[in-house]
Structure 1
Amino acid sequence: MGNSGSASPARLGKDHVPHLEWKIHVFSALLETGAKSAKSSYFQCSGYKWLLQVTPSMKKKAGVETPYVGLCLKLCWTCLDPGHTVNAVFELSVYNHSKKMYCGYKASHNFAMDNTLSKEECLIPLQKLLKSSAFLVDDSCVFGVKILKTRVTSPQKKDVVVKEKATTVQNLFVQKKEFIKGTYTWTMDNYLELGSKNFVRSPTFEVGGHKWYLGICPRGDRHIIDCISLSLLPVDSKELSAMLGKVVKLTLSIMNQKRGKHFTITTGLVIHGSGWGWPWFLSLRKFKEPSGGYLVGSSCFVKVDFTIVGSSNDG
């Protein structure tokens, strides 16, 4: 399944109706941000929460300079129980305005807690998309995903044929300027005393007129052990409501106190939900390794850098 080697996506037919229709406005601004990816908001289908990820400029393989636009499907890991696998058959697509139908590829993936993102499928060479009025109209491009079937492996296997449902419509607006940027470093001098705690929050800090805090699970999330979980969260529900629909580029880092080579993960562009973060941020073994420089004595430093680059809405 899938056909990432083709120069153009195949027609999916006029009967193809996606479960998610995601329109990215000002696609050129998405490229200018330099973001490695952009993620939609979650949508519900087949009893699970999914999102569509677009890689605006990816290389099909090493040594090949031609950039492609890539799509992949992500399953929300909190929908899964440890040991469960969801095999999904789905179609990833881009709308062809000239032919008035979606074009794309059929693919499948086994989603699990440690494998929530499908393989990227190259839909179209980036330059072809930018120069073609079929795919890009008024600097906007429409992407889609349709889930055809899921099978859950628990120890029992259960096939679920997905029923037709109304399309979830989302819009992403990317700014070209006037970004709101913020940074904060959390100094912890008592990390070794946090071992018995499930969740610890940093002091409150303010960026862009909103109040935030960093959260750390010293021993991992409730589903995950032997890893540090790290997240950025708004202080209260009012802050959460004010930030809903904001598009953010986020970087979280644990600072290296010896060599300056920090451990860093960047989201790409994500749409605000209840917060951002990684349950498997860094293994405890690597974090506590004396030569690593992340934990010195009982001291560690966590840093967040984020930029609000746009907004999103549904409908």
Structure 2
Amino acid sequence: MGNSGSTSPASLGKAHVPHLQWKVHDFSALLEAGAKSAKSSYFHCSGYKWFLKVTPPVNKTTGAETPYVGLSLKLCWTSLEPGHTVNAVFELSVYNYSKRMYYGCRASHKFDLENNQSKNECLIPLQKLLKSSAFQVDGSCVFGVKILKLRVTSPEKKDVLVDKKATTIQNLFVQKKGFIKGTYTWTMDNYLELDSKNFVGSPTFEVGGLKWHVSMYPSGTRHITDYISLFLYLEASDELSAELGKVVELTLSILDQKNGKHFTMTTGLSVFTGAYGFGWPKFLSLEKFKDPSGGYLVGSSCVVKADFTIVGSSNNG
């Protein structure tokens, strides 16, 4: 299977041992959830944090329109530095239970702060996943990613030794019913008094028996500037370790207090643990946020809203 996809994934051979093995239990439940994507928890390789993204389904035209499931690789933006490019060669795959090996494609991508998700997808025909016992057992599919080569371009170029380590095993469980919905509105009346170099966190609130908070960076975080950065975090606790997370579909909004035209962004399904949050480092430009006609900042008042649904759970096997 090439970067542009084909009608059948190709064998990657018995030497393909992935850095991440991600088992999606009851794959049909993921489809029924209607999410635009699902992202694994982070896995570590060669000093970087990565995750695998599944997009079900993707319509591509190969003579006729056929629904595909797409696999892509993403590098966590916090792993990246300004002016650095991480050139990666990797394999994206799905496990063939009959052949007892992974099938998929090899791809490459140049990851940087502006472009930290691979455009090269491994495309797997949806019907092959749903109908073939080779790729699905007891309703479950196993996806994988293996990093083959890394080269970092900064002021200088250097090769990075790719870790030879045990496979990280993760599981994804998506419910078909019994979803837990949460919403929280955070009103700040002192935005203009905030330290623009530091984040500010909302009061803690509870959804699904767990504690959450929203974090804002008023002028961007790390190397992101001139933007509002906005995230939702699941607070670490004894009940929820870094090995066990909740699968969440998240919408964050900055409310328009004048016109009712709120600025909103929505994720696919993301795995939240006590270690990491999800959101957008470039949520809304400061120019647009501070435009008086927009209603996002009225005086010193700003209103942020989080709406999310817990649709399942995840663990590292």
Tell me the TM-score normalized by structure 1. Answer: 0.92
Superposed, 1:63-82 pairs within 5 Å as 65-82=65-82
- SS in structure 1 at match of 2:128: helix
Structure 2 Cα separation of the partners of residues 172 and 35 of structure 1: 14
Post-superposition Cα deviations, 1:208-260, rounded to whole Å, max 9, x if no partner, equal 12232211111111322111111122456447549942111111111223333
Tell me the residue number matched to 1:283.
285
Stretch deviating more after TM superposition (299-308 or 195-204): 195-204
Name the aligned partner's letter for residue 297 of structure 2.
L
Superposed, 1:12-91 pairs within 5 Å as 12-60=12-60, 65-91=65-91
Name the aligned partner's letter for residue 72 of structure 2.
C
Tell me the residue number matched to 2:253.
253
Structure 2 Cα separation of the partners of residues 89 and 119 of structure 1: 13
Name the aligned partner's letter for residue 46 of structure 2.
S
- SS in structure 2 at match of 1:290: coil
Name the aligned partner's letter for residue 26 of structure 2.
V
Change (3 A) 1:122 1:90: closer
Change (3 A) 1:64 1:194: farther
Stretch deviating more after TM superposition (129-138 or 241-250): 241-250
Superposed, 1:133-148 pairs within 5 Å as 133-148=133-148
Structure 1 Cα separation of the partners of residues 188 and 163 of structure 2: 50
Change (3 A) 1:236 1:16: closer
Stretch deviating more after TM superposition (27-36 or 156-165): 156-165
Change (3 A) 1:262 1:122: farther
Which sections of structure 1, spanning at least 5 residues, go unmatched? none
Name the aligned partner's letter for residue 67 of structure 1.
P
Structure 2 Cα separation of the partners of residues 201 and 58 of structure 1: 36
Matched, 1:175 2:203: no
Structure 1 Cα separation of the partners of residues 91 and 15 of structure 2: 13
C-alpha displacement of 1:36: 0.8
Stretch deviating more after TM superposition (56-65 or 167-176): 56-65
Stretch deviating more after TM superposition (290-299 or 3-12): 290-299
Tell me the residue number matched to 1:101.
101
Tell me the residue number matched to 1:92.
92
Which sections of structure 2, spanning at least 5 residues, go unmatched? none
Tell me the residue number matched to 1:198.
198
Structure 2 Cα separation of the partners of residues 160 and 186 of structure 1: 43
Change (3 A) 1:56 1:204: same
Change (3 A) 1:146 1:30: same
Change (3 A) 1:242 1:211: farther
Post-superposition Cα deviations, 1:274-311, rounded to whole Å, max 9, x if no partner, equal 22222221111121122323223322211101111111
Tell me the residue number matched to 1:2.
2
Structure 2 Cα separation of the partners of residues 178 and 63 of structure 1: 40
Structure 1 Cα separation of the partners of residues 114 and 150 of structure 2: 18
Change (3 A) 1:38 1:63: farther
C-alpha displacement of 1:197: 5.7
Matched, 1:309 2:317: no
Name the aligned partner's letter for residue 41 of structure 1.
S
Tell me, yes or no, if the aligned pair for 1:221 and 1:229 is still in contact at 8 Å: yes
Structure 2 Cα separation of the partners of residues 198 and 6 of structure 1: 47
- SS in structure 2 at match of 1:294: coil
Provide the aligned length of Structure 1 versus Structure 2. Answer: 315
C-alpha displacement of 1:125: 1.7
C-alpha displacement of 1:20: 0.9
Tell me the TM-score normalized by structure 2. Answer: 0.92
- SS in structure 1 at match of 2:293: helix
Post-superposition Cα deviations, 1:149-200, rounded to whole Å, max 9, x if no partner, equal 0000111101234243221111111111111110011122222222546222
